[in-house]
Structure 1
Amino acid sequence: MAKRQLHKLSAREAETIVEAGRHSDGGGLYLVIETGAHGRRQWIFLYRVRGTSRRRELGLGPAKGKGKDGLSLSEARLKAADIRKLLTLGKDPAAERRALAVADTTFGEFADAFLISIKAGFKGKNTLADWTRDIEVRCKPIRAMKLADICTNEVLTILSPIWIAINRTARETRSRIERVLDAAEAKGFRSGKNPAMWKTLKPLLPKSKRSKRHHKAAPYKDMPAIVRALRVKHETADTTVNLAAEFIILTAVRTSEARFMRVGEVDFTERLWKIPAERMKTEDDPRGEDFEVPLSDRAISILKEVIPKDAAPDAYVFAGQWSKDHAKPFGMNAVLHALKAVYPAMTTHGCRSSFRDWVGDETRFERDIAEMALAHKVGDDTEQAYRRGNALKKRRQVMDAWGRYVGSASNVIALPLRASF
């Protein structure tokens, strides 16, 4: 078999050809010219993968032309010759090029590209800034390092100086480094155990004291006055945010659960609100099960006042101020501002604490019922495996009693010495 002809093009031809298409120089090297007066010119190499019939195209770079910089014919031929050598050795030039790129990729290059790919999913307004700070400033000691060379010692160099002083920030930084390196492994840029895994670093870092944060809560004895103040504010307000705040107090739910509450989740006949599983996947309820909230008389009245008669099932119950069609929920901090307007030293989550303190101090309802009313896990895994009921009847009684308490004119309300079920 005769050898394929090489060097079909002259240097002049390579720089002056303007006809669109592929122009062969022989041996797999082609000059490609795209259509148009200013069509792009580039060199490519075509070859077949050994043992298969698949053809692959490998870009070599832009081609030199009139008034255009790029690879000359001689430079392109040198690159083509290197590729032919790899093919003679039974290697795949594309795979070799990828391996070389992977070996040279630094943490900084990969982390920057990874951040761009995930930032669309960030929900917090400061999340992007926090990520950028970590991978650009805190990770500066490893930014220029190749991904494959990063080991536990390098991660410790970043974390050790800040582990005690700003532990929460250090933990977030560690988590982000771990995520970047996990992504690098998934894309084939490194292999082996992730050096930023907590399991690996835990024995090497000093134990820190993590202070438990408590949400500000009003004493439960102040709750009736707070509810009365919210009702007065609602009479002169142009929004339903004060009613939303009262509803959250009455049901002891999390703000996000009430904020994204939809009309179709309410059963007025059964006096129940069923929160879908996807909104219950929290640290307190990792099982992510539907959660039924029994509704007191006042809670039902609020819903009937805020839900339009012609509302669609997927409409939000507590709509944003400018969302007349209930297509958007109220703002994330709207209820917090409404509460602080009547009681500055209070948070929305603190309403749950006030409810829990009241149940423990002023009633004889069982502890487990109070915890279940807050959608907290009760018992260990074994107990939960055998507990199938949701104690709805008992929870309804405790929520009705709470509704009567916060809606009372005074802080004194007749309660049974022992709840009768």
Structure 2
Amino acid sequence: MAKRQLHKLSAREAQTLTKPGRHSDGGGLYLAIETGAHGRRQWIFLYRVRGTSKRREIGLGPAKGSGKDGLSPTEARHKAADFRKALAEGQDPVAKRRAEALGSLTFGQFADSHLSAIKAGFKGRNTLADWKRDLEVRCKPIRAKKPSEISTADVLAVIAPIWVTINRTARETRSRIERVLDAAETEGLRAGKNPAAWKTLKLLLAKRKRSKRHHRAAPYKDVPAIVRALQVKHAVADTAVNLAAEFVILTAVRTSEARFMRVRELNLADRLWTVPADRMKTEDDPEGQDFEVPLCERAIAILKALIPKGAAPDAYVFAGQWSKDHKKPLGMNAVLHALKAVYPAMTTHGCRSSFRDWAGDETGFEREIAEMALAHKVGGETELAYRRGSALKKRRQLMEAWGRYVLRGSNVIALPAAEDRGRLSASM
């Protein structure tokens, strides 16, 4: 008579066995007993993932004899039978159990869990508080819903009332809802188009009326004198801030893009700086994309003078005044104060305006090239894709011409050679 493959353990054995190890009851069901005087006894189910050699284990619960709530052999066998049925239908029992457990989660519960998982990567001092405000306060109307139940109308109910009055908060809240729902989809809690996706919502939200802000800027004819004044101040007070202000003028970038520049972003051999997409995000371009900044000779000299020899790839180039190890960037308003110290009517964004006026008035470069040098979008995506190569070459010519203009008639204060200051060599 063939040996029985199921129900190998008798009721008495299941209750009295004390030998440590796994005792098979057949069909993947085991009574597992731990070592020790009071070794824990529990039922487990073992199976092999279909199509692989990987084995998985599921705990079913304590066995009778381990406490009043333990499972009897019959109860454990019923659970094992359910798992065998799921396997026969092509389902993974572990994934099924996890999905069932997660399926009862509300948006609020999942959002809180997701926030706990990602908060370690936040850099800003107030980022966690901002996320909690948006997910707990702004999203209160949808917190009780399951992620699969949230519709575009639900997201609009959160976003629309504040879209015009406090637009920045509305945009950040929308983005965070989208991210949580994307994570929920990865966990199998929802499927289909994300109801918080900007591509969908932008068609349903009121178009904001933007008031034009005019940033105070110096006439471009005054810029060479401003740069000379910054160089003189640097010679007297050898700090990064005056060189940072000069660098911002030479490259016409936004101050935040320069402040958070890290060593890994630079390719000095190709005289190129690649600003990562996350620092290029603007209201007009919330997605952002990497932006290549061609560097003139003076900009390269500034970088070589500032970056410590052997600096880590994550080190900030323009370090804060007290950050000798380059682990903290310049303060938010440091460059602005440096500019105002030599030209009170100047602002950091005004440096870009001065550059744009000069490019339009004094050069023959196409308008599109000047706009692209400022990282402004020009034309459609197809046009930009075809012109990317030549645009970089022309932008390099434009920025080198700007560098010559800025330094014209100036006895540029020489920066100490990198090796003389224990700095990076030219081969960096």
Relative to the length of structure 1, the TM-score reads 0.72
Of 241-250 and 338-347, the range deviating more from structure 2: 338-347
CA distance in 2, matches of 1:185, 1:222: 55
CA distance in 1, matches of 2:85, 2:203: 50
Match of 1:295 among 288, 294, 297: 297
Q: Tell me if the contact between 2:174 and 2:196 (Cα under 8 Å) persists in the aligned partners.
A: yes
1:140-159 matches, cutoff 5 A: 140-159=140-159
CA distance in 2, matches of 1:200, 1:351: 36
Q: Tell me if the contact between 1:336 and 1:347 (Cα under 8 Å) persists in the aligned partners.
A: yes
1:22 counterpart SS class? strand
Distance change (3 Å), C-alpha of 1:377 and 1:407: farther
Distance change (3 Å), C-alpha of 1:327 and 1:148: closer
Distance change (3 Å), C-alpha of 1:293 and 1:96: closer
Aligned residue identity for 1:129: A
State the percentage of identical aligned residues.
57
Q: Give the equivalent residue in structure 2 for 1:273.
A: 271
Q: Tell me if the contact between 1:242 and 1:335 (Cα under 8 Å) persists in the aligned partners.
A: yes
2:386 is equivalent to residue 385 of structure 1: yes
Q: Tell me if the contact between 1:224 and 1:407 (Cα under 8 Å) persists in the aligned partners.
A: no
1:11-410 matches, cutoff 5 A: 13=15, 19-24=19-24, 28-35=28-35, 41-46=41-46, 56-62=56-62, 71-74=69-72, 77-84=74-81, 87=84, 90-91=88-89, 93-94=93-94, 96-211=96-211, 217-218=217-218, 220=220, 223=223, 226-227=226-227, 229-255=229-255, 256-257=257-258, 260=261, 265-266=267-268, 273-276=271-274, 282=280, 288=290, 290-295=292-297, 306=306, 318=318, 321=321, 330-331=329-330, 333=332, 334-342=334-342, 346-360=346-360, 363=362, 365-366=364-365, 368=367, 370-371=370-371, 373-374=373-374, 376=376, 381-382=382-383, 385=386, 388=390, 390-391=393-394, 392-393=396-397, 395-404=399-408
Q: Deviations over 1:44-98 (max 9, x none)?
A: 13457899998653212355777xx684143x74253244256468555545434
5+ residue gaps, structure 2: 413-428
Q: 1:233, CA displacement in angstroms?
A: 3.5
Distance change (3 Å), C-alpha of 1:55 and 1:193: same
Larger radius of gyration: 1
Relative to the length of structure 2, the TM-score reads 0.71
Q: Give the equivalent residue in structure 1 for 2:415.
A: none
Q: 1:31, CA displacement in angstroms?
A: 3.4
5+ residue gaps, structure 1: 409-421
CA distance in 2, matches of 1:282, 1:103: 37
Q: Tell me if the contact between 1:378 and 1:384 (Cα under 8 Å) persists in the aligned partners.
A: no
